Structure 1
Amino acid sequence: MFDIGFWELLVIGVMALVILGPERLPSAIRSTMKVVRGVKQTANGFKNEVEEQLRIHELHENLRKAEEKGFSELDPDLQSSVDELKEAAASVQQPYKKDN
């Protein structure tokens, strides 16, 4: 993403040492790393959410195709999607079944 090499980092480090001084530099580095970690976690969370929504959309499309075919003679891809949706529906209903 950023094309920052070793020499650029070295110049930034020396400038930070001169400007902040040796007392405040470690805390500045820690706070910067905390911000960078937070941004990465937010980006990863967003990416995971988008991937999950795309997977759900794909499952819905496969279910629609299976319904059009009447759930017979399905491709293995469609059949696995339908099976996955059936398992998800069964797991949702499981806690609500009454024990006899």
Structure 2
Amino acid sequence: MSMGEIIIILIVAILVLGPEKLPSTIAQFVKIFKAIKKNIDDAKNAIEKEIHINELKSEAQKYKDEFTQTNENIRKKLSFEEFDELKKEILDHNANSANKPEKNDTNAKSTLMEKENV
């Protein structure tokens, strides 16, 4: 508002309200405007807090997803390592078992020969 508009509003207010009621009316308007401004500021602060909370939630979700993915990768890696160890144990066992039957066969043959000789 320009200075001319403010002067016109004051002149109209003086004519309508009179010089006696004008100060109390202006005080009431000032209180109303302060209350409106306070409510607007409170709403603005609440919105900013909500936006900040949403940003924190999205950032926390991002970290949670990253942690979950890392955890799954570690479990997969451990599973593959365990699988490799199990595979090695089986192959070692099979290799040892393949060698033992020959010895067992030899022992079995000698035991059979001894029984036949008796």
Q: State the TM-score, normalizing by the size of structure 1.
A: 0.66
- 2:47 and 2:61 map into 1 onto residues whose CA distance is 21
Moved runs in structure 1, 4+ residues, more than 4 A?
Answer: none
- Higher RCO, 1 vs 2 (CA within 8 Å, ≥6 residues apart): 1
AA partner of residue 19 (structure 2): P
Aligned to 2:56: 59
Aligned to 1:37: 34
Total equivalences in the alignment? 68
More helix by share: 2
Gaps of 5+ in 2: 69-118
Gaps of 5+ in 1: 72-100
> Which entry has the higher C-alpha Rg, 1 or 2?
2
Q: CA RMSD in A?
A: 1.1
Aligned to 2:67: 70
Query: Percent of pairs identical after alignment?
Result: 29
